[in-house]
Structure 1
Amino acid sequence: MTDLSGTSEPTPPHAREPAGRRVGYGEGREALLRAAVRVVGQRGLRHLTYRAVAQEAGVTHGLVVHHFGSRDALIEEALAYAVRTSVSNSLLESGSGRVEDFAAGLSELVEADPDLQAFQYELLLEARRRPEVREQVRNLYDGYRAATERELSRILPEDAGPALTRLVSAALDGLVLYQLTLGGPDVTEEAVGELRELLLGLARERGRE
């Protein structure tokens, strides 16, 4: 019998999930990380406990302890999971170089997984207090900015440069935060449309220089 992380070691008796509420075979660690993201996204970082994650995932408290060992390790691994998932799922880089494709589907991305987006903002604030979290948060945002800069450089006649990239990234980040808290997808899409018009004008202006 293998444990839920997919290794060949027996699962400790205290770490077995309740009957009838099983995490998918072989996906134990990933499922727990997704559960941690949901807990933080819905209730805030202060509510991230072994028991909260276990309840969200439908497993025992002991299984969470078995996989992570400490709350700090759980936080750091959940953040690493968010980095992998968010950057790989990002719609910032279509690769087409067409301005109408830039940030296409941003509002749908937020609607599809608001907890993942909220988790990132929670950890962004936590990075102010915890240097050990700061580097992973920086990696997350560096990934966003790099994807944005590559796509902007396809749209514009010349490389976008760091200043414009940060400006556009900050605008998109703010739109996501606003949609999560106060707005809706229609507000985001309208603003993204205006941003595309500004980029189109900038591309034409630079093309005449």
Structure 2
Amino acid sequence: MSDSVEPTSGEQSRSRKRVKNYGTGRTALLDAAVRVVAQGGLRKLTYRAVAQEAGVTHGLVVHHFGSRDALIEEAVNHAIHSSLGSSALGDGTGRPADFSSGLVDMVESGPELQAFQYELLLEARRRPELLPHLRSLYEEYFEATRRELERMLPGPVDRGTYRLVFAALEGLVLHQLVFGEREATEEALDRLRSLLTDLAQG
């Protein structure tokens, strides 16, 4: 029987880095940036932090993005498009009973993605230069909500209505993210769908 050999500290470090390596492509780096901000806020977002989180070199992050502002802008864009794809807002069925059917699972499967967006919204109160990026990208949320509501409701949907519905969805996401009450979120969504069904039929 051979003796077991304990890895050296250098080998342990290399092993941890290999395990943590999520990929070296642009999307993997954006995912790492989202996790860094979700865990520590926007102030923790540096090239080195993203590189460490992704298990790649600092230079690779610099190569892909060039500036911290570009990294932030692309991470915001990535986060919102990822959320749109998983929330069923972007490609719903047009039936009130299916409205935002992926929302609960979206929060459970990607809490960092949601936390990242709330961190940026709060940071934008202190850093107004973030507002144009967030405003233009949130318009995509609003527009996706409007389009989906117009597929199920008679007549055009006014801004107050689609903003109200989106605000309800966003509030449910935040509460589930913080309190983890999946059943409460599902109950509220069922009630929202019932209201939309009544509007569609009325």
Q: Same fold (TM over 0.5)?
A: yes
Q: Which moved more, 1:189-198 or 1:124-133?
A: 124-133
2:186 maps to 189
Q: Does 1:163 align with 2:167?
A: no
How many positions carry a matched residue from both structures?
Answer: 186
Q: Deviations over 1:144-203 (max 9, x none)?
A: 111111111121122221111011000000000111112322111110001111112222
CA distance in 2, matches of 1:171, 1:184: 15
CA distance in 2, matches of 1:127, 1:142: 16
Aligned ranges for residues 121-200 of structure 1 at < 5 Å? 121-200=118-197
State the shift of 1:88 in Å: 3.5
With over 3 angstroms needed to count, the CA separation of the structure-2 counterparts of 1:51 and 1:94, relative to structure 1, is closer
2:95 maps to 98
Q: Which moved more, 1:66-75 or 1:33-42?
A: 66-75
Q: Deviations over 1:114-150 (max 9, x none)?
A: 1111111111122233343212211222111111111
1:74 maps to 71
Q: Deviations over 1:32-82 (max 9, x none)?
A: 111000111122212212222111101122322333333333222211222
Unaligned stretches of 5+ residues in structure 1: 1-17
Percent identical pairs in the alignment equals 61
Q: Does 1:117 align with 2:118?
A: no
State the shift of 1:23 in Å: 5.6
CA distance in 1, matches of 2:33, 2:92: 32
Q: Would the aligned equivalents of 1:87 and 1:140 in 2 still touch at CA under 8 Å?
A: no
With over 3 angstroms needed to count, the CA separation of the structure-2 counterparts of 1:101 and 1:59, relative to structure 1, is same
Letter in 2 for 1:55: Q
Letter in 2 for 1:100: A
The structure with the largest helix share of the pair is: 2
With over 3 angstroms needed to count, the CA separation of the structure-2 counterparts of 1:51 and 1:166, relative to structure 1, is same
Query: What is the TM-score normalised by the length of structure 1?
Result: 0.79
Q: Would the aligned equivalents of 2:41 and 2:119 in 1 still touch at CA under 8 Å?
A: yes
